[in-house]
Amino acid sequence: MLQALFTPEKRLRARARIKNQLPLRPSLLNVPRVSVRFTILGSGSSGNCAYLEAGETRLLIDAGLSGRQTRQRLATLGRAPEGLHGILITHEHSDHITGLVALAAKLHVPIYCNRLTAEAIEETTATKFDFRIFTTGASFEVNDVGIETFAIPHDAMDPVGFLLRTSDGNLGFLTDLGHATRLTIERVRPANVLVLETNHDVKLLQDDTRRPWSLKQRILGRHGHLSNEAGAAVIEQVASDHLHHVFLGHLSRDCNRPELALRAVSGVLQKTNATHIAITVASQDVPCPTIELRARVSATEAVPAAN
């Protein structure tokens, strides 16, 4: 049984039986070369899910689309949820876990998350899962993929970002954070491909009449979401010769526009002479084009979806 880490009043009432505590191991640094493909299946305020295939290893990063939508979008890649080896979860908010019951519970796919996130998921879904628990800050391996975890500032129980290391390149995930700390910047600095939140345009959010002021304050706060300008500032700090592709994700449908996010980021790329970095704005409604990572190449190239 899980032991309470905080008082029940302040944390979760549910105490789930969590299996398979992951050992603390060094990250995967030296692995045989494998084919590595990456696709964002969907990203936005209503649902977030990405797919990574490294050799025979197939992972989802978050599962915020419905089970049906996830299955349909994987099918465009010639893949199915039954082939998944695991689902990595950044945090327990609904736009990151909606598909877990259909994908993980029914198909017995392991979920990789920290303990507080696991507690929150089981309380929210009232469902038992095969959790593989990591300690935030730890590194571990899932077959051909090394996974490094780190804390991010967001209003969830214990939210994390990821750096995924493969033989052909590294992928960083920075979504759902109110500000980028020095730690988060350093942890994604090795990334060749970066998924980065650009949630809102500040003026559009401030002018929005549908959201109460308290919600706007939460979004704009230090544990809320990155604006276009804040996301651009992150890119300015991590831009390098080895960073080849940035996906702008988690765009608000009401308080952002793809062209506004692109404009903010493009200005930074020009300023830092980093125009070699390709920018893709992820969509809520359709998957992004699949990219293939190739070791020791000058750019990450877009390729057709896997058959």
Domain total for the chain? 1
Tell me if 142 is assigned to some domain.
Answer: yes
Residue 115 has a pLDDT of 99
Alpha carbon distance 95, 18 (integer Å): 23
- Residue 3 pLDDT: 35
pLDDT of residue 28: 46
CATH number at residue 294: 3.60.15.10
> What is the structure's pLDDT at 211?
96
pLDDT of residue 23: 53
User: 84 in a domain, yes or no?
Assistant: yes
Residue 193, domain extent: 36-301
Task: Tell me whether residue 12 is in a domain.
Answer: no
Q: What is the pLDDT of residue 221?
A: 97
What per-residue confidence (pLDDT) applies to 302? 40
Nearest partner of 54 among 139, 144, 129, 132, judged by Cα:
144
28 domain residue, yes or no: no
Which residue stretches of the chain have pLDDT < 50? 1-19, 24-29, 31, 296-307
Q: Give the pLDDT of residue 294.
A: 78
Q: Is residue 14 part of a domain?
A: no
In whole angstroms, what is the distance from residue 127 CA to residue 251 CA? 29
Residue 268 lies in a domain: yes
Residue 2 pLDDT? 39
The pTM is what?
Answer: 0.86
Instruction: Give domain status of residue 260, yes or no.
Output: yes
1 part of a folded domain? no
pLDDT at site 88: 99
